[in-house]
Amino acid sequence: MAVKNIAVTDTLETFRTTFNDMAAQDFGDIANLSGSISATNLVGAMNETISIATSTAGWTIEDGSSTRQILGGGDVLRVLGSANEIQAVVSATDTLTIGLPNDVTISNDLTVTNSIGIGTISISNNDITDSTGTIQFADDNLETTGTITGAGFVATSGTSTFGTIEVSGNQIRSTDSTRVVVNDTLRATAFETNTSLLQLDEVGGFPRIRSTQASGFLAITATPIFQTNMIFEGSTADDNETTITVIDPTADRTITVPDETGTIITTGSTDNVSEAMMADDAIGSGQLKNVQTLVIYNSAGVAVKTLYGAGS
């Protein structure tokens, strides 16, 4: 239909005849409107016509936001995927396939109600498990600002570092000093120095300090304090031992071992004192028990010799 135009200089009569012609020719006579349409204005009739056409030859598409679009005969519905997110494929006959590409990129968050399966890896809630029993990180580093808790950690090769403590094979060392400090009790089957000359272990239900030096020497650069006894087993491990004991001191006492080679004589020693052990004039009358005296006089009655002997 032609576009009608009324100039500002046209008369009211021109406007009247033009409007009547447009109503008669362009809009048409409402009396000729189909009885199946109940609308009495052009817009209403158009909406009613679209509704009738859609119900017979078209359909309506709606998204999650309730936005609707009517598709009539001859219209094309285009389903467009997004790169690395969703792909749409149209195939015969009348088939639309919507799926995910091999590589999926999610620009924001992904929330999964149950679990995610990736190969043999399963992610569910706060658990990551592998059906093979082992999760591998290849040659990548695993970093966290939190705490790693587990039943055990196994390093198959290389060196593991915990803070300044380095573990390599069966060796533990400090990376910032030459000392490893253990703040709690350290318990082991045995302890030994780097060259194994000194060993600490247990044998026969007793703790043992042992020197593996060729001479068996053990250097003690301190003053040992023994509470009561010192017990010597001897060369034969049996039920017989020699015990050196002290009576509870009431003052500081000193027993001096002389700088000589010999045998210590005790009150239990019998026939162990030899002549060579006594100096000249070492025994006088004062050292004899129940001293008896024999005086020898000369002819003038003067005592020339006195003999001392033990007896009664």
d(CA 96, CA 79): 9
Residue 296 lies in a domain: yes
Average pLDDT over residues 43-47: 78
* C-beta of residue 62 within 8 angstroms of C-beta of residue 71: no
Residue 257 lies in a domain: no
- Which of 129-143, 244-258, 279-293 has maximum average pLDDT? 244-258
In the chain, how many H helices and how many E strands? 2, 17
Residue 165 lies in a domain: no
Q: Which residue has the higher pLDDT, 230 or 45?
A: 230
d(CA 34, CA 17): 27
d(CA 67, CA 24): 38
- Which stretch of DSSP H or E encloses residue 292? strand 291-297
Span 51-101, pLDDT tens digits: 766 666 677 888 889 898 877 777 788 888 888 888 888 898 888 899 988
d(CA 224, CA 66): 92
Residue 10's pLDDT is: 85
Residue 34 lies in a domain: yes
Does residue 1 have a pLDDT over 60?
no
Residue 208 lies in a domain: no
Span 130-141, pLDDT tens digits: 999 888 878 888
Residue 255 lies in a domain: no
- CB burial of residue 52 (10 Å; 0-12, 13-18, 19+): middle
Picking from 28, 50, 71, the residue at the C-terminal end of a domain is 71
| Structural domain count of the chain | 2
d(CA 241, CA 292): 43
Domain of 33, in residue numbers: 12-71
Q: Which of 263, 266, 261 is nearest to 245 (CA)?
A: 266
Q: Which residue has the higher pLDDT, 308 or 63?
A: 63
* C-beta of residue 72 within 8 angstroms of C-beta of residue 58: yes
Picking from 71, 92, 114, the residue at the C-terminal end of a domain is 71
Picking from 71, 87, 121, the residue at the C-terminal end of a domain is 71
* C-beta of residue 158 within 8 angstroms of C-beta of residue 172: no
E-assigned strands of 32-164?
Answer: 59-62, 68-71, 87-91, 95-99, 115-118, 121-124, 127-130, 159-162
Residue 55's pLDDT is: 64
Does residue 306 have a pLDDT over 90?
no
Residue 232 lies in a domain: no
Coil, strand or helix at 200: strand
Does residue 203 have a pLDDT over 80?
yes
The end-to-end CA distance of the chain, in Å, is 172
* Token code pair at residue 141: 């580093």
E-assigned strands of 83-204?
Answer: 87-91, 95-99, 115-118, 121-124, 127-130, 159-162, 165-168, 171-174, 191-192, 198-203
Residue 66 lies in a domain: yes
